[in-house]
């Protein structure tokens, strides 16, 4: 049983920073786990603008495979705990690196998807962006979607690729949340990809207590105020209950 003595006595605003590990128990492959490989490619070889311009069909095949796989996955206890936290503490937010949409399917609404959404498609210049697949209906979109406004223009997945900058609004919001929270809870990230990997440090430097939940220690756990070793689906629900008990 975790000793929650490290928690502040009064908590109203929590920022949850989630990574692929929060969806691992929903059977969504993480990026750097042993299940991160597909057809001998690594995500870094497919999730880039260069890969897309060189072979858009292969990149769309990879995303179609991921979308089909994720559409069969359900939110787990960790996603539901985050939604419960938001309902109990309305000033709390989730900043997620994940593109799987499982936080939203668990009922959370105050979410910053800093790496975009696998359910979105858009033009390169972002002028046209829309959801093209609702995992609840499971309808299968065309493998390669084309712009409605500019018929000969191929649309790309609405996600952030390696080497691309994050949308400004999401980045600014995430930083502001980390600076002004009463508590920062990091769940299931290797802390290797910036700028997201730097968010817990921003919280820490602003005097916000940081908790890291992971099945193994990371750089973040080395400076966090507390490291809870364990699967998110087991570790997060009791922590959320303890936070709610200290709210308002
Ligand atoms: P990673 O695959 O790098 O790391 C997943 C983390 O989750 C690891 O630290 C695991 O130890 C941990 N983990 C695995 N199972 C867990 C469980 N059941 N409970 C808790 N933790 C668990 O995924 P991310 O850190 O999310 O970026 O990767 C960050 C970014 O790198 C992704 O958003 C993506 C990728 O490239 C882009 O696509 C731009």
The residue among 153 and 195 whose pLDDT is bigger is: 195
pLDDT tier for residue 109 given thresholds of 50, 70 and 90: very high
| pLDDT value at 18 more than 90 | yes
| Residues in a beta bridge with 15 | 93, 184
Task: Judge whether 113 and 96 are in contact, CB under 8 Å.
Answer: yes
* Tokens (6 digits) for 25: 């128990």
- Average pLDDT rounded to a whole number, residues 98-123: 96
State the DSSP string of 161-195: PTTPPPPHHHHHHHHHHHHH-SEEEEES--S-STT
Give the domain 33-72+118-159 fold.
Answer: SIR2/SIRT2 'Small Domain' (3.30.1600)
pLDDT band (50, 70, 90) for residue 143 = confident
- Residue 115: is its pLDDT beyond 90? yes
Q: Which residues line ligand 1 (CB under 6 A)?
A: 19-21, 24-25, 30-33, 43, 47, 97, 115, 160, 162, 188-190, 192-193, 213-216, 218, 231-232
Predicted local confidence at residue 37, as pLDDT: 53
Atom 35 of ligand 1 has which residue's CA nearest to it?
Answer: 31
Confidence of residue 142 (pLDDT cuts 50, 70, 90): confident
| Mean pLDDT of the residues in the chain | 91
CA-nearest residue for atom 9, ligand 1, is 190
User: Ligand 1 mean position to 29 CA, how many Å?
Assistant: 9
Distance 21 CA to ligand 1 centre (A): 5
Q: Where are the domains of the chain?
A: 14-27+75-115+165-245, 33-72+118-159
Out of 109-118, 138-147, 224-233, pick the least confident: 138-147
pLDDT for res 38: 57
Distance from the CA of 116 to the center of ligand 1, in angstroms?
15
**Percent of the chain residues topping a pLDDT of 70:** 96
| 16, 18, 20: residue to mutate for ligand 1 pocket, most atoms within 8 A of CB | 20
Ligand 1 probe mutation, 98, 164, 215, 235, most atoms within 8 A of CB: 215
> pTM to 2 decimals?
0.94
Q: Is the pLDDT at 146 greater than 90, yes or no? A: no
Q: Taking residues 141-157, report their average pLDDT.
A: 84
Statement: residue 39 has pLDDT above 70: no
Lookup result for tokens 């390696």: 162
pLDDT digits (tens, 9 = 90+) for 47-98: 999 999 999 999 999 899 889 899 999 999 999 999 999 999 999 999 999 9
Instruction: Describe the crossing of helices 232-245 and 77-88 by its angle, rounded to 10 degrees.
Output: 10
Is residue 178 within 8 A of residue 199, CB to CB? The reply is yes
DSSP string, 44-72: HHHSSHHHHHH-HHHHHHHHHHHHHHHHT
Spelled out in words, what is the top-level CATH class assigned to the domain 14-27+75-115+165-245?
alpha beta
- pLDDT surpasses 60 at 19: yes
CA gyration radius for the chain?
18
28-37, 129-138, 168-177 — most confident range = 168-177
């Amino acid at each position: 049983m975790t000793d929650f003595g490290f928690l502040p006595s009064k908590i109203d605003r929590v920022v949850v920073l989630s990574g692929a590990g929060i969806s691992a128990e929903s059977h969504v492959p993480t990026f750097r786990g042993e299940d991160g490989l597909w057809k001998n490619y690594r995500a870094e070889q497919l999730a880039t603008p260069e890969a897309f311009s060189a072979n858009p069909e292969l990149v769309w095949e990879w995303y179609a495979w991921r979308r089909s796989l994720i559409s069969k996955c359900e939110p787990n206890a960790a996603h539901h705990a985050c939604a419960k936290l938001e309902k109990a503490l309305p000033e709390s937010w989730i900043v997620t690196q994940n593109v799987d949409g499982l936080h939203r399917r668990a009922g959370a609404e105050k979410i910053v998807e800093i790496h975009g959404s696998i359910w979105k498609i858009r033009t390169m210049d972002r002028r046209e962006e829309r959801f093209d697949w609702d995992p609840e209906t499971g309808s299968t979109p065309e493998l390669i979607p084309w712009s409605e406004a500019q018929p000969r223009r191929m649309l790309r997945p609405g996600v952030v690729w390696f080497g691309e900058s994050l949308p400004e609004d999401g980045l600014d919001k995430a930083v502001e949340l980390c600076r002004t929270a009463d508590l920062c809870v990091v769940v299931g990230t290797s802390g290797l990809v910036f700028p997201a990997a730097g968010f817990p440090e921003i919280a820490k430097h602003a005097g916000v207590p940081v908790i890291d939940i992971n099945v193994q220690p990371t750089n973040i756990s080395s400076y966090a105020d507390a490291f809870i070793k364990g699967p998110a689906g087991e570790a997060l629900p009791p922590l959320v209950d303890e936070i709610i008990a200290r709210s308002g």
